[in-house]
Structure 1
Amino acid sequence: MHNISGGVLGGDQLAVEVNVGPGAYAQLTSTSATRLYRSLPEAPPARQITQLQVAANGLLEYVPDALIPFAGARYQQQTRIQLASGAGLFYWETVAPGRIARGELFAYDLLQLQTEIVAIDKPIAIEHIKLEPQRHKLSSLARLGPYHYFCSFYICKVGLDAARWLQLEEELGALANQLTYPDEICWGVSTLTAHGLVIRALSKQHTHLPAGLLRFWNAATQRLYNREAHPPRKIN
């Protein structure tokens, strides 16, 4: 059993809550890309707060389409994921630079993403991203360099020992090397403090990311659950 709820907190604030019950399975995606519209100068940033909970031996696959911040957008996102013993998670976030066809390359004002993953009441991943392209150029080598798109893909299963994760890191790292073309896209894989790993990518084109994410998703699902991944039909 799983429950999904959402609501408006007031102003431009949205709350999403997902609870996956013991031994249950849920796959969530979005109907299309999330478009972040221009904010009024006098208004606070638009904000989304997402709470995801997976009970013992449950599995959540949360695989939304990309965030696309339009020119003048100001957006803050907080995502907190709580995993119980034996719980599994596949969760990715992909961020576009704007509406490229309209010449809006990094024309937004603020994009702030905060993600925390907690396993059995202990943090295993904390990620804070704050981008302000009008104040700090994202083409800096300390930020995105020559790349325009980026993504993070968290894969977790609570209770697996460190040796299993190191083995999976090695296998997915070999796949990352196969999929990396430095002039177009770069992939990397690293283990978390426990119970999982994270895959990251920087790309010049969005078209390279979905196929790569599916390759990693399928490989990890085979190793962790002895089956093929079942992506939403729209990204097959």
Structure 2
Amino acid sequence: MCVSTAAGPLGGDSLCVEATIGPGAYASIGSTGATVVLPGQWGEPSSYLLALDVGPGATLRWAPEPTVIAKGAQHRMATRLTLADNCNVVLVDEMVLGRHGEQPGTCAQRIDVVRGDRPILRNGFVVGAPGWNGPAGIGTARGVAQVLLIGAPAQHWLSSHGGATAIGGHAEDCRWSASTLVDGSILLTGISPGIEPLRNWVKWVTGPANEARNCAAWV
């Protein structure tokens, strides 16, 4: 369990979280509360690096509470996954643009995934002021989530959706899309005007993985 502070990171902060899941191990990691990214005194950006290494036959469920990008914040987020060929991963990332009644800051997010020495995903996007709510961005959405399913979780999701490789839809005010990666992994992205519909969508996507004890059954 990751323990969040009352606020932060602040502008100028640089944080790094690293975790290694050994061969055959199982880990379900979350956080005690949301992360609120705030601007610093001198207008500097903040950064956060998440580096995860998952070994052969291991299972990881990474699902922290949302990251809130407060007004004036300039934040960079990078996620790097190094995975064995036969591991299982459920990775959830939820972001809220601005606190209640305020405009959001800016967040540049990137994820790089290497599985068995082969890159399977290199993806990045930027959300926030000044053009965050335009038609070329995410419209009126204030919540953004990405869910990455690798190994048995991806196979389960595909089997329950007829093997579709690129689909999308609406669910309780949440618009979403799903794409199959080169190795059969699934990347899903959802956007919503509020956090509750988004979190309900995440629960629907992750299915059995929503409960830690069930994710182990996928191994």
Q: Check conservation: 2:20, 2:52, Cα contact below 8 A.
A: yes
Q: Check conservation: 1:186, 1:201, Cα contact below 8 A.
A: yes
Q: Check conservation: 1:165, 1:191, Cα contact below 8 A.
A: no
Counterparts in 2 of 1:33-48, with a 5 A limit?
A: 33-42=34-43, 44-48=44-48
Letter in 2 for 1:126: R
Letter in 1 for 2:135: L
Measured in 1, the distance between the counterparts of 2:82 and 2:215 equals 22
Secondary structure, aligned partner of 2:122? strand
- State the partner residue of 1:19: 20
Measured in 2, the distance between the counterparts of 1:209 and 1:171 equals 23
* Residues 1:138 and 2:139 aligned together: no
Measured in 2, the distance between the counterparts of 1:83 and 1:169 equals 25
- State the partner residue of 1:234: none
Q: Check conservation: 1:169, 1:197, Cα contact below 8 A.
A: no
* Residues 1:196 and 2:185 aligned together: yes
Letter in 1 for 2:89: L
- State the partner residue of 2:214: 228
Measured in 2, the distance between the counterparts of 1:36 and 1:195 equals 34
Q: 1:213 to 1:229 in 2, by over 3 A?
A: farther
CA deviations over 1:139-182 (Å, ceiling 9, x no partner)? 21111012221111000018x9xx98754553689x964x525x
Q: Report the TM-score when normalising by structure 1.
A: 0.76
Q: 1:187 to 1:219 in 2, by over 3 A?
A: farther
Give the deviation of 1:114 after TM superposition: 1.0
Q: Check conservation: 2:59, 2:89, Cα contact below 8 A.
A: yes
- State the partner residue of 1:97: 97
Measured in 1, the distance between the counterparts of 2:150 and 2:92 equals 12
Alpha carbon RMSD of aligned pairs, Å?
A: 3.0
* Residues 1:128 and 2:99 aligned together: no
Counterparts in 2 of 1:5-16, with a 5 A limit?
A: 12-16=13-17
Q: 1:164 to 1:99 in 2, by over 3 A?
A: closer
Measured in 2, the distance between the counterparts of 1:35 and 1:141 equals 26
Q: How many residues align?
A: 205
Q: Check conservation: 1:149, 1:206, Cα contact below 8 A.
A: yes
Q: Check conservation: 1:46, 1:75, Cα contact below 8 A.
A: yes
Measured in 2, the distance between the counterparts of 1:86 and 1:221 equals 21
- After the TM superposition, list the runs of 4 or more consecutive aligned residues in structure 1 that deviate by more than 2 angstroms: 39-42, 163-173, 219-222, 227-230
Structure 1: segments with no counterpart, 5+ residues? 231-236
Letter in 2 for 1:97: L
Measured in 2, the distance between the counterparts of 1:89 and 1:195 equals 13
Identity of aligned residues (%): 23
Give the deviation of 1:120 after TM superposition: 0.4
Give the deviation of 1:39 after TM superposition: 2.2
- State the partner residue of 1:49: 49
Secondary structure, aligned partner of 2:68? strand
CA deviations over 1:74-95 (Å, ceiling 9, x no partner)? 1111110011021111001111
Secondary structure, aligned partner of 1:144? coil
Q: Check conservation: 1:47, 1:76, Cα contact below 8 A.
A: yes
Measured in 1, the distance between the counterparts of 2:162 and 2:35 equals 33
Q: Check conservation: 1:91, 1:153, Cα contact below 8 A.
A: yes
Letter in 2 for 1:138: W
Measured in 2, the distance between the counterparts of 1:221 and 1:13 equals 30
Secondary structure, aligned partner of 2:195? coil
Q: Report the TM-score when normalising by structure 2.
A: 0.82
